Amino acid sequence: MLGRRSPQLSLFDASTLPHRVPADSFYGRMGAVYDLLFKDDDLAQMYDSQTGRPSLPPSLMCGVLLLQFYDEVSDPEAVARVCFDLRWKVALHLPLDYAGFDPSSLSVFRQRLLENGQERYAFDRFVQVGREAGFIPDRVTLLTDTTPAKGAGAVQDTYTLLRKGMRKLLQALGYQRPGKRRGLSEQARRLVERYLERDKKADIDWSDAVQRQEQLNILVDDAEAILDLALEESDDPDVRLVGWLLTKVLGDDVERDEAGMAHIAQGTAQDRTVSMTDPQMRHGRKSSAQRFDGFKTSVSIDQHSELVLDIDDLEANAGDGHALMPSVERVEEHADVQVERAIGDGAYLTGDNLAACAGHRDAQGEPQPIDLVGPLRQPLNPTVDKSAFQIDLDAQTCTCPCGYTVIGQRAKDKQGREVLRFTFDRRSCEGCTLFADCVRSKKTGRTITTHAHEALLQQARARQQTAEFKALYNPRSAVERIIRELVRHGLRRTRYIGERKRHLQRLWIAAAVNLKRLFTLAQARHLDLRVAVAAIA
């Protein structure tokens, strides 16, 4: 049953007594609007209206959750601060003698938010406040970028991945129940006992390559045997999922030689699974020197107000540009604005993104192109890069830096789209001073292939040289400043396992940063934020 906060203040309410919490601090400003910030009735659908004891008021739990992510503290520490930290008492309008609650209540509340699809509640509410206060215009310019976020799961080596994968598969098959084991062969029974009941790292000398090799062969043979056992129950979706995951580890990490012996595969598979604890984690690189294990978090802000309008994860090994159009769609859906321009670094300026922005439509299906602004990636060797070749799409000709011209042939790219391919005569290339740097083929001369959206890329390349481009692109650094603020509140340290729980963490961190930004905007423009908050209540 829904519990509500009483509007009647206690005699010992921290906000009414003399205290040393500055009125212009985040906690003081939050306390000034807290009675309007969250409403119990907004989340009434999460509770039974007839039966049960009254819950902890959801307005209180939302405030605690917001401060928990703002101060980046654990559940027990959050409850301790509710009881003893004067700043939190002022922010939440709590009496000095408030007794607190069990830390598990925070976990239950987060789960309740997820089950009822309310993980965006605080984030969307504060964006609405920004709209109501006039901070966010109807037509926005998005500044977007990504940052690495460490996953909550343990990063595991191949031996551990196989062992944990077999354990998960046996659990999915139900062999932790003794009755399920009846009728198993002696070999299958030994596998169940080895990976369900003991599940310990092998007691070998791990510095000995021979013993490691023997252990790998044992694990691979056992994994294949357990996968065969799982085929009998392949209709169960949980069994199929875990079986696929174990098969993927075998395919990514293991290869067999001609004698049938298993070896650790050379190199790293592009989409390699790194954790059975959180199978969605991946190896990622933000740069050639910065490697991480986890996810990339995409952040999009409004250039005018610098409020976060969208935040979400993508795979660590995915290109940043993949986040652009999904982010645009979410912003237009949830913030009720029209994106007219998007600004990102070189990772976002791809031919596909340019085409998607040019063909963008609004919610009514009317054409509404988005101006995508960003620099094209700088080539390692500009002299012989594709950009140094003069491509005439109308005449279907290509002229190399040394003046040779060839006519293109129609071809298909990997997606089956029509492109032009220009192949230069090898004898002409061999006589060129740039031959060693320019030509990689041992049979033909240099080959240049256009992109399916080559015309848009040419326009972007020409625009990049103008003063207009520099004026538009310079403000992009604001998103990096907001990302640093998010990072200070724990964005790069994932707390939870599972996509929806991770998303909840990202959204509530962004909500806390947005609330702080709303206070700053209101002060700078001499506006009473209570009016805007009350207008959406």
Backbone angles phi and psi of 366, in degrees to 5: -80, 145
95 found inside a domain: yes
In a domain, 534, yes or no: no
In the listed set 92, 118, 144, which residue is the last one of a domain according to the structure? 118
Does position 458 have pLDDT exceeding 90, yes or no? yes
**Span 215-242, average pLDDT:** 89
pLDDT band with cut points at 50, 70 and 90 for residue 537: low
Percent of the chain residues past pLDDT 90, beyond the cut: 80
pLDDT at 377 exceeding the cut of 70: yes
469-519 confidence digits (pLDDT tens): 999 999 999 999 999 999 999 999 999 999 999 999 999 999 999 999 999
Residue 461 forms part of a structural domain? no
pLDDT, residue 51, reads: 83
pLDDT given for residue 457 in this prediction: 96
Domain boundary residue, one of 406, 430, 455:
455
Verify that 181 and 95 share a domain, yes or no.
no
Whole-model pTM? 0.93
Q: Is residue 300 part of a domain?
A: no
* 477 located within any domain: no
Q: How many CB atoms lie within 10 A of CB 51?
A: 7
Task: Name the more confident of 234 and 426.
Answer: 426
Where is pLDDT greater, at 308 or 267?
308
Residues in the chain, total: 537
Residue range(s) defining the domain that contains residue 396: 386-455
Total domains present in the chain: 3
**Residue 467 burial (CB count, 10 A):** 7
- Mark whether 168 and 253 lie in a shared domain: yes
- Are 174 and 107 within one domain? no
162 and 258 assigned to the same domain: yes
Judgement on whether residues 168 and 256 belong to the same structural domain of the protein: yes
140: nearest Cα among 526, 475, 481, 492? 475
Is residue 79 domain-resident?
Answer: yes
Among the candidates 455, 471, 492, a domain finishes at 455
Instruction: Give me 72's structure tokens.
Output: 């980046």
Query: Predicted confidence band at 13 (pLDDT cuts at 50, 70, 90)?
Result: confident
Shared-domain flag, residues 197 and 252: yes
Q: Considering the domain boundaries, does residue 182 fall inside one?
A: yes
Residue 125 within any structural domain of the chain? no
C-alpha distances in Å from residue 192, one per residue of 127, 163, 204, 421:
52, 12, 21, 57
* 63 plus 113 within the same structural domain: yes
Q: Are residues 166 and 258 in the same domain?
A: yes
Read off the pLDDT of each residue in 344-370 and give the average, rounded to a whole number.
94
pLDDT over threshold 80, residue 11: no
* pLDDT over 90 (residue 245): yes
SS3 content of the chain, % helix, strand, coil (to 5): 45, 15, 40
Q: Give counts: helices (H), strands (E), the chain.
A: 19, 14
